[in-house]
Each structure stands twice: as C-alpha cells, then as structure tokens.
Chains A and B, each alone.
Chain A
C-alpha cells in the first residue's frame, strides 16, 4: 500500500509541473506590458525598458519559465504583485485557509446531507419521498450557485435581518456563504447517490443476500451501501473542485478575504503574477484532494487494491 501511495504521488508531480507550465504560458500570452502596469501610464519609455531588463522580461521564454519554476518549486516563491509589491506567497498563505474552509465544508456538507438524502430516495423509489427529494435536487442543480447566494442574502440578511451579508467574524458570518455554495454540491451528491444505489440494489449479489435470509435493513446498509459508496468518493472529489471554483465568486459576494477574491481583483488590475500564483495554488490543492480520494478508493475497494499490490494473493489453484 505504501508503494501505491508513493507511486500515486509520483504520478501527480508531472501533472503539477504541467499545470505550472500551462498557467505560466497563458500569462505570458496576456496583452500588455508588465513594466507599464507597475510603473503606471506616466512612465517614460526609458524607465519601462530599464524595469523590463531588471525583471528579466527580455529573456527568452524558456529562461523565464525555468526561473519561475525554480522559484516556485525550490523556494515556494510566487513573486511579487505588480500592484502592491507585496510577496504573493505571503498573501496566499494568509488567504488560503479561508478558501479551504469554504471548499472543504462544501464537500463535507455534500457528503453528510447528500448521501442520506440519495440513499433514502433510492430505498423508497417512486414514492413521494423520492419524487420530493429528487425534485428538490433537480432544482438545486439548476440553480446558479452565486445567484442562490444573492437570494439568501436578500432573504436572511435583507428582509429578515438574521444573518450578516458579508465580512468575516464568528460562525454567523460563515453560515450564508457555506450553505449557499454547498447547496449545489449536496444536490448533485444526492442524485448521484440515488442512481448508484439503485444500480447496486438490482445486482445479483443483493438478491443473493436476500436469499440468505438477510433482513432488508441489513441488505441495504451492509451490502448495498458499501458498494454504492465507492463511486461517490470520486464525485466528492469533483465537488471539491467545483467548490474551489465557486469560491472565486462567493468570496466576491460575501467579501471574504480568501484566494478567490484575490485572483478576481488581480484580473481587473492586470496583476498577472497574482493570477498565476493563485491559480497554481488552487490547482495543486485540487490535485491533492483527488489524490486523497484515489487513495481512499484503493483502501476500501479490494478490487482496486489488488490491482495496485500486483495481486499478490492470486489463487494457485484454478
């Protein structure tokens, strides 16, 4: 198993390198001159050229790429912002925990609420409970997350005055942001869980369990559910990715000082190193979560585990 973890981490490294190269290259293609952005519109040509030379912007692409990769991988240095001259790494380190809380709580809620909802709907297929929860789920997946946030702010903050609309502080400030962004994840998970469960319930081995005299409750929770949960782990990791992406907008709406809003502001300011660093950081976070989910699947699904350990316990007799 340790070998698998090692192998899997090794596989992740080229992907991360690829992400860095891709993002760096994209930022190179952006219009405009960084030196101009830093110095402002009133700078003279001479000043601009001097700064370009100093920043190494006249070097060939490969050299610049190599320099950036060296900075990022060896010293975790994402450079400095064009606008504020602050170290991007420091800013990211400060902001990342808030973004992480957002995305992780979204994923956790989708599991805690979405799974039972889906299982319940599957068990009571075609009943009122099923139709009710699936209609809700359908509406949830058709709801633009950020619009839902706005509506919740309107209702709970504007009309009812129960919760604050923006800012950070105690738990009160996190309720609206987390609930509104988690809603889509919860509903997606519920739908996935329901269809996964239904598929499993119609399998032969479930009929077999029934034929052994296992009671219905046990059939569902001891036989069907463990099998149905396996693909759900992958869905959970995908929903983490969606939640990460959603933080870009949610942090803007709720004025939460995380990585998302940092990136969004940087775009309008043409502060591209910030965009670069932020995007890379979030992509790496996503890769890590996908890695964890893959490892989890390997741990709970004996078929995957066997593939990985090379089928050590293969039968001698056929």
Chain B
C-alpha cells in the first residue's frame, strides 16, 4: 500500500462477542488501507472474522453480544465509529452499502422487492417521490430483472435473482464503498459467474471502492486488486494481487493455495492444511497459526508476531516467511 492518503483506513480494530459463558475474540488488532476505486479481497476460512470486520465498518453489529474493544475506521477523514447513530443512518445505504451472504434470508419476505429497492432510494436521494419507483425499476433493469416484476415478492425469485435484487439495493444510491460479504457463496457456479460479472461491470462504471469477502481464491483472482488474508481475527498477509498470488509468503497463505485443486496438475490426494481452525475463545500467546504451521519454531510460540515487510506493497505476519528461493 503506498503512502498517499487512503480512501479507507482501518486502524487497530478489535471486536469481541461477550456472552455469559465465554468471550469470542473475533477481530484482533486489524489494520489496513484501501485506495479509492480499488477492490480489496478479504480472504479466510469461515469464522476468521471477515464478516465482523465488514459489519463493524457499517456499524450493523448486534451490540450485545458484540463489543468494540478498540480501533478506528476513517473514511475520507471521518472516524465512522465515532459518528452518532443518526449520522450513521445517513452513511448507510448511501456512502457505504453491504451485500449479505445468504440471499434467501436477506430480503424482507412480506415486502415487494421493488419497494425494498425504492426504500433505500427514497431514504437517501432527493428525487421527488413520484420518480422513486421509476428509479427503482431502472435499477431492476440494470441488474437484469424485468421492471414488470417490481411488485413481486422475494419468494417468487430464485437465489441468483434474489442476490441481484440485493445488489440493486446496494448500488441504487451509488455508494462510495461497497462491502460484499461472500456474495456468491450461496449460489450455483454458473449463477456465480453471472453475478460476479454484473458486480465487476457496475464497479467499473461507478468507480466503487469495494471490500470483497470470500474464501474462494478463484473469485479473488477474478475480481480483486489487493488481497488481505485473515486468520484468527488477524491479517496475516496483505499485498497486491500479484504479490499474493505470485509470492505467497505466509505459511497459511501457501497452505491455502496448496489446498486448491488445480486443473493442470494430476494429483491423487488433495493437500489440506493440517489441524483445525483456531478456537476464537482462547487466543494463543504467540502466532495464532503455530499449531498448524509446518515451519513453526520456538519463537513462533511465545511472542506476538509483527508484520514484516516483504516488499513495499507486501506485508506478512510471520517471523519465518517463506522466501523467494523456497517458492
């Protein structure tokens, strides 16, 4: 990441989920920067904390049990975490919008899809009320749904089409920052391709800055300019798309690439990463990847690992990063 003033800056973000029985350390001191118009891929396993990061930026966490421990989210000079709820309501849906993971449950079942799009338009744009509907219909057409279906209800649409409605809602007010939380995970592969294509097109047209959360490296390769790998609530590696795909340095990242089945190789067994995902209720003293790391040493176990600069744009949280020779 370069030294210019970034569009979005997340600094030392830490979020926990506190219940009577236990505390889940979901996000641990996460920092990253994003320039305007770029697409950042947040990659990691389920439960790594990616969704929590996104929801914290938009401030749609369930406040109990979620608890913001520390950190700031600066967008164009303002710390979003310090805005009042009313001010935040003006930001949500207009400057920052979100696409949720499961299209089957993201839409209100008793409201027509057209109305759900119109709602966000009516809230944030200064269009006179009689034009809101036609603007909503426009959005429907843009995402490939016939405008005649404005009055239909979510259950009348397939998963892929529901997700298109969600995209229409997210992009209706031309947001500056789009948070897409695994937008295609719940869809068939063929529909995935269509939805991603649509997102890419709209992104380019509006120069929307995007954070794309996914666990699919294929999607990352397709869509992202920059990548951050998330593990146990921390960013363990970050860089440009080329940095990560051509010179992955963190053992976990390498493990992820290794676990992917490749079309051009003929192997008998898939090679998963050994071990299980970490327990978010008990953080380790040292490196969180220590139990599963094939290269782990004594220093890894005891000390907190800091980010190491592999190249100007490429950071890695490892004291024994995989060097060029070994790749």
Contacts and interface: CB of A to CB of B under 8 A. Distances in A.
The answer to whether A and B touch in the complex, with CB atoms under 8 Å apart, is: yes
Interface of A: 126, 202-205, 207-216, 223, 226-227, 230, 300-303, 306, 311, 313-315, 317-318
A215 B106 CA distance: 17
Contacts of B64: 126
A314 B156 contact: yes
Given A205-B105, A223-B108, A315 B153 contact: no
A212 B93 contact: yes
Interface in B144-161: 146, 149, 152-153, 155-158, 160-161
A212 B123 contact: yes
Given A204-B100, A204-B106, A213 B153 contact: no
B62 A208 contact: no
A214 B123 contact: yes
A197 to B, nearest CB: 15
B90 A303 contact: no
B120 A213 contact: yes
B106 A214 contact: no
B94 A213 contact: yes
Contacts of A202: 62
A281 B91 CA distance: 59
B21 to A, nearest CB: 16
Contacts of B310: none
Nearest to B149: A315
Contacts, number: 92
Nearest to B85: A216
B58 interface: yes
B153 A209 contact: no
B107 interface: yes
A227 B110 contact: yes
Contact of B60 (A205, A210, A226, A303): A210
A314 B182 CA distance: 27
A212 B100 contact: no
Nearest to B98: A211
Contacts of A214: 89, 93, 119, 123
A212 B106 contact: no
B169 interface: yes
A303 B153 contact: yes
B124 interface: yes
A311 B166 CA distance: 23
B61 to A, nearest CB: 9
A302 B108 contact: no
B92 interface: yes
B56 interface: no
Given A306-B153, A318-B158, A210 B108 contact: no
A183 to B, nearest CB: 31
Nearest to B103: A204
A300 B110 contact: yes
Contacts of B60: 207, 210-211
A313 to B, nearest CB: 6
A295 B89 CA distance: 38
B177 to A, nearest CB: 12
Interface in B140-188: 146, 149, 152-153, 155-158, 160-161, 166, 169
